[in-house]
C-alpha cells in the first residue's frame, strides 16, 4: 500500500498521494473484507481505514477499526491518530494524559 504522506512531503501534494493510496486500497479491502483492522499509525493506515469506514457507512461490509497510538505520543496524538480519531471504533492510548485530552480514546497503559 503506498504511503499517504512521506516525511517532509508538502501538504499540497499529500492530497494526491492520499487519494492514490485510497484508490489502491479499495480492491484490497473489497477482496479481503477484513473483520478487524488494527493499525498503529504509519502513512498506510489512513487510506485502508477510510475505505473500510466508507464500506461500513455504505452498508457493504462492517469492519471494526482499531487504532493503537504509539507509546512515544505522551501529550498529543500523532497526525494519523488525529485523523482516525473521528472514525475509528476504538482508539487505544498508552498515557493517561492522552485519555484526558481525547475523550473517545481508551487508556490501556503501556503495551509490552
Written as nine digits, the cell of 47 is 487510506
- What is the pLDDT confidence band of residue 97, given thresholds at 50, 70 and 90? very high
In this predicted structure, what is the pLDDT of residue 42?
Answer: 73
**Percent of the chain beyond pLDDT 70?**
99
Angle between helices 11-32 and 45-57 (to 10 degrees): 60
Angle at 66 between CA 55 and CA 76, to 5 degrees: 120
Average pLDDT (2-9) is 81
Amino acid at each position: 500500500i503506498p504511503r499517504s504522506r512521506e516525511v517532509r512531503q508538502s501538504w499540497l501534494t499529500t492530497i494526491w498521494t492520499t487519494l492514490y493510496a485510497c484508490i489502491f486500497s479499495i480492491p484490497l479491502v473489497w477482496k479481503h473484507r477484513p473483520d478487524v483492522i488494527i493499525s498503529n499509525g504509519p502513512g498506510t493506515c489512513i487510506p485502508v481505514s477510510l475505505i473500510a469506514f466508507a464500506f461500513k457507512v455504505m452498508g457493504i461490509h462492517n469492519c471494526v477499526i482499531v487504532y493503537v497510538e504509539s507509546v512515544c505520543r505522551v501529550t498529543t496524538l500523532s497526525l494519523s491518530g488525529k485523523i482516525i480519531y473521528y472514525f475509528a471504533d476504538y482508539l487505544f492510548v498508552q498515557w493517561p494524559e492522552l485519555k484526558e485530552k481525547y475523550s473517545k480514546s481508551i487508556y490501556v497503559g503501556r503495551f509490552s
